[in-house]
Amino acid sequence: MKHQFRLYLLLLALALVAGVARAQDYRFEVGPRLGMSGYLGDVSQSNVWQHPGLVGGGSLRYIFNSRLAVKANLDYAHISGNSDDLDNKYPGEPRYEFGSSLFDLGVQGEFNFFSFGSGPRYKQYKRISPYITVGLGAVLASSGGNTAVSMTVPLGVGVKYKFKDRLNFSLEFTMRKEFSDKIDNLSDLYGIKHSFAKNTDWYSFTVFSVTYEFSKRCVKCHYVD
User: What does 28-57 look like in DSSP terms, one character per residue?
Assistant: EEEEEEEEEEEEEBTTBSS-TTSS-EEEEE
Does CATH number 2.40.160.20 belong to domain 2-216? yes
pLDDT of residue 29: 97
Instruction: Round to whole Å and give the CA distance between 195 and 180.
Output: 10
- CA atoms 207, 196, 132, 140: torsion sign: positive
Q: Per-residue pLDDT tens for 169-217?
A: 999 999 999 988 888 877 656 555 555 445 578 999 999 999 999 998 8
Q: Per-residue pLDDT tens for 111-155?
A: 999 999 987 777 789 999 999 999 999 999 998 888 999 999 999
Are 184 and 98 a contacting pair, CB within 8 Å?
yes
Instruction: Round to whole Å and give the CA distance between 205 and 149.
Output: 18
Closest CA relative to residue 174, chosen from 127, 129, 209: 209
